[in-house]
Homo-oligomer: A and B are copies of this chain.
Amino acid sequence: MNQYSYDEIDIGHKESFEVTITEKMLDSFKSITGDCNPLHADAGYAKSEGYEGRVAYGMLTASFMSTLAGVYIPGERSLIKESKIKFAKPVYPGETISVEGEVTDKNETFHMIVLKVTMKNEKGEKVLRGSMDVMIRQAK
């Protein structure tokens, strides 16, 4: 886990990681949220609707924005204030997604950074675009 302070982060700073989406993640997300929508739970239904199989919950894919802020940038002292998410393409279990955050702005008054978030599949296609306003908590 990174521990960047506000001053250690410059505009243009990038952090990234990869994650493979699994059926188990979809099952766990369903257990947490109670979202039993068959597009995510039932491969047969999803196929009959024109998809390759169970579609990952958009908000599950978006959950890796939590990891991006809380582990990578800024890491420990992260506090997400706001996030905006656009879902561009379906994500399927078995796919490996790259998650990248780039600092596009800083606000000294609020000790806040703005992260542009891009997630891509193995074909290089964007599956999610977003942004986050992340406060960097000061040490007590």
Contact = CB atoms under 8 A, between A and B. Distances in A.
Interface of A: 1, 19, 25, 28-29, 31-40, 48-50, 57-60, 62-67, 70-71, 75-76, 78-87, 137, 140
B140 A70 contact: no
Copies in the complex: 2
Contacts of A78: 37, 39
B29 A63 contact: yes
A71 B34 contact: yes
A103 B102 CA distance: 33
A35 B67 contact: yes
A16 to B, nearest CB: 14
Contact of A140 (B31, B34, B49, B76): B49
A37 B1 contact: yes
Given A39-B79, A59-B83, 11 more contacts: A29-B32, A33-B67, A37-B76, A40-B70, A49-B137, A49-B140, A50-B140, A59-B59, A60-B66, A81-B86, A82-B86
